[in-house]
A and B are shown apart, each in its own frame.
Chain A
Amino acid sequence: MPKECILRLYILGSNAASELALANLRDIIAKETKTIFKLEVIDIRKNPQLAENDKIIAVPTLIRKLPKPIRKIIGDLSDIEKVLLGLDIILQNGK
């Protein structure tokens, strides 16, 4: 049974780190086939209230909304191994 993973990526306009984070994330999503991803990309400038609710300070910030518990990863996600670890995805595959 594939696991569901709801992600939200906060970016600000178009800066290098945000672009890079998005590209890295898309890469991970493409590779990881056993999980069903739902990704929402949110520009803080266009949606500041969401950023307030999620207490976003750093850009870019990736939030794993589901499964619980909520996890936050900040940065351009350039180390894919660490990102997988952070999202707890390897563990999910092992089951």
Chain B
Amino acid sequence: MASKLKSSAPKLKSHDKISLVSGGVEKTPTGIRGFDAVLEGGLPKGRTLLITGSTGTGKTVFANEFLYRGIKDYNENGVYVTFEEHPADIIKNVRNFGWDLDSLIKEDKLVFVDASPDETINKEIGDYNLSGLIERIKYAIGKVDAKRIAIDSLSMLFAKFSDKDIVRQVIFNICDELKTLGITSVITSEKTSDTEISLLRTGVEEYVVDGVVELALIPGQQQFLRKMFIKKIRGVGYRSGMAEFDISNKGLEIFPKIEVDRIVSKTDFKNREMFGVKGVDDAMGGGIPQGHMVLISGNTGTGKTLFGMHFIVQGIRDGKNAVYVAMDEPVEQVKKTAREFGFDFDKYEREGKLIFVCPSLIDISNDKLLFQIVNAVNEVGANRVVIDSISSLQSATMDEEAVRQFLIQASGFFKNKGIACVMNYLSGANFGAAKGQLLAELETNLMRLSPIVDGIILLIFVERGQRVKRILNILKMRGSWHSNNIFQYEVNNNGILLGERYEE
């Protein structure tokens, strides 16, 4: 079981209907996309997770999805204790995610404990306790034979009563009761100073709950980014630190860090992935070795994108499915360009042989992009990936170091899966080199990426005799013979056409 969790492909599927045991703690998958991968299987069964965060960070969505997935995917009925929103409003709001709570209530799979504010005037006279709440929760649990509970939110409970000690007492008692009953619980709490101090001072975070996850909105360059900080999960392993997440019309999606797998299990120099461009494959010693990552570096207009397209087309001809990461242009434009050369990408897509990944170029993140690529590769069963281009990554808020890290992580994944990858790199340096110094001005950036990639193909413009000529050189092919020649090439309406050896 443990070794199964180590490989990257299966652990990213969030709906495995299994209970996982690690270190004696039984886990229950939440069913929230990506979150179980972060938790390396799921939440500890029968324990309590505290979700904190300020307004609008997604706490209520989290609580809702935790219950909804539990019922739909794992046959675990749920209780929703609401101190804030009225049940009718919650039901209405989550309909946007396609979650039909009404039916679940009718089927006796979900029940609300409604402690939302009402119109009545409340007065406190003399001593009281909050055992009524505990009784109602126990009653609700019994009603649907619940295995999960969501309590949303503690802050509102604190706001209801003047005696905060009584509120703290009831939180302790509820958690205790839930633990005894073996109910897996998610409790939300507004990250405001009052509640936080209240929780901290009494050790709710420290002693009562078994895990703390903070949700946050962090300003990016153009928009807010959603981030999740795993502060503690008692008793089980989890991927440390921070994960980015999204709230889409399907609910939450967390993008766990892809572990860099150092096992180079699937690289083979005998298996070559060809471009299908006459001469180019030969110059590379037969094509790109399985599991290798090749950088195509060239100035604008040299035909980098076209090389990538050839790589896709030849792959599909050879029965190898592909993923195209379109960062420079919108997918429709890529397809349109491809059509000009007689490549029908629409058809490949329809036939399930090609998947496009088109990340937003604003506030792009390593983890999210890699997660999207991994998902696409798994979905289509890809042997080939084209990333057009790495330079777009670099210019889209990711700094150089982030790009390097992305490449290292991607390279680990590709090698592990035996995927050949072509990635384009816009280089301004290789232009119009002087006679005899065609390769003189390689960019330092490019050279910094060199140790990570397995191969580099240089595309260069040279200005000779009132004409701009295109020349190509296989600069590097790790572990493989390759031609050292400089070739002239042309772009015509069939694509790239490699010419003779270029001599001056």
Q: Which chain A residues have a beta carbon within 8 Å of chain B's beta carbons?
A: 10, 12, 15-17, 20-21, 44-45, 48-49, 51-52, 55-61, 63, 69-79, 82-83, 86
Contact = CB atoms under 8 A, between A and B. Distances in A.
- What 9 pairs across the A-B complex have the smallest Cβ distances? A48-B139, A75-B126, A76-B126, A78-B126, A75-B125, A56-B132, A57-B133, A75-B128, A58-B128
B121 interface: yes
A49 B139 contact: yes
A71 B120 contact: yes
Interface in B116-169: 116, 118-133, 135-136, 138-140, 160-161
Contacts of B131: 12, 44, 59
B115 interface: yes
Given A52-B136, A58-B161, A74 B125 contact: yes
Interface string B105-122: 000000001111011111
A57 B119 contact: no
Interface residues of B, number: 27
Nearest to A17: B127
B129 A59 contact: yes
A12 to B, nearest CB: 5
Nearest to A81: B125
Nearest to B135: A44
B128 A17 contact: yes
Contact of B130 (A21, A55, A58, A79): A58
Given A44-B135, A56-B136, A69 B128 contact: no
Given A51-B135, A56-B136, A75 B124 contact: yes
Contact of B126 (A10, A20, A45): A20
The residue among A52, A69, A78 with the most chain B CB atoms within 10 A of its own CB is A52
A61 B127 contact: no
Given A12-B131, A61-B132, A74 B113 contact: no
Nearest to A11: B132
A14 to B, nearest CB: 12
B135 A12 contact: yes
Contacts of B135: 12, 44-45, 48, 51
8 contacts: A12-B135, A51-B139, A57-B160, A58-B129, A59-B132, A70-B119, A74-B124, A82-B125
